[in-house]
Amino acid sequence: MPGSQARCRTRDRNNVLNRPEFLSLNQPPRREQMAGEGRAGGGPRRAAFRQQSQQEDTGRRGSRDSEGSSATDGGAKEASRWPEQDCMQLNPSFRGIAINSLLAIDISLSKRLGMCVRPHGPGAPLRSMVTLLALSGHALPWLCGTLICLWRSNTLAGQEVLVNLLLALILDLMTVAGMQKLVKRRGPWDLPPGFLDYIAMDIYSFPAAHASRAVMVSKFLLNHLVLAVPLRILLYLWAFLVGVSRVLLGKHHLSDVGCGFALGFLHFNLMESVWLDSATCQTLISIGTMRWTLLI
């Protein structure tokens, strides 16, 4: 008997299925085990098993629903995180297609017309003349020139026109700078603004400040100065070429220049509607000269 017991123990040790990692193979399945227990234990154990299985199914469904809702929320957060231009629109409207097409045409034409952007490009011989033409529509020469003429003027009528012109230039400068800061549109070539552009707050592309100023000044001079017909034609041509020069230099799009022209015409009409009379202009001049005398 002791020898047979030793043999059985040795056989159990050598049996692979008795190892801990293979113990689950020797045990009967859970369903069969629970069924056997149900048969042996009767109805209460079977009812408890059903209740436990229902609770497990409910927990699994709840976890699946929570995972689905979390995935949906995560997708919504990811979609809101990306910018609008990177999202795919499966059913774009006709209006959106038309606007995007016009913007693409505007960018393509503006880049093709930027011949004077590079110093060695196809428009290199005209670069200096185009730069000088664009400088003639800058805010700094017009503001300084108006102040010098106002200081040298001796007539009441001339001072009245110059004061209103100075206010129109300031209105145009502040309005265009505010709109550019609000829209923040870059030029077709995305060139960095120069030192004079920082002074005049002409940093962004939309709308074109030079074009707006050129139209406003030309309309102002044509309305308040008696000029011959050739000079009037040259003034119109100058305003148009100032806007075109900014496109040739790659600073603005064609749409920026067009909106600048419309904005300059609007500024002229607004200034004409709130025209200051001679007495008000003299009051403003006296206040300004009083401040300068106090500083001196």
pLDDT tens digits for range 91-129: 668 788 888 888 899 999 999 998 888 888 788 888 999
What pLDDT sits at residue 10?
57
| 187-205 pLDDT per residue, tens | 888 888 888 888 888 899 9
Averaging pLDDT over each range in 2-6, 27-31, 229-233, which range is the top one?
A: 229-233
What is the mean predicted confidence (pLDDT) over 19-48?
51
Q: Of the residues 138, 224, 252, 253, which is catalytic?
A: 252
Task: Give the confidence band of 38 by pLDDT, cuts at 50, 70, 90.
Answer: very low
Comparison of pLDDT for 25 and 187, the residue scoring more:
187
Q: Is 138 a catalytic residue?
A: no
| 237-254 pLDDT per residue, tens | 999 999 999 999 999 999
Q: Of the residues 210, 224, 253, 267, which is catalytic?
A: 210
pTM, 2 dp: 0.66
Q: How far apart are CA 87 and CA 84, in angstroms?
A: 5
Q: What is the largest CA-CA distance in the chain?
A: 141
Q: Is 252 a catalytic residue?
A: yes
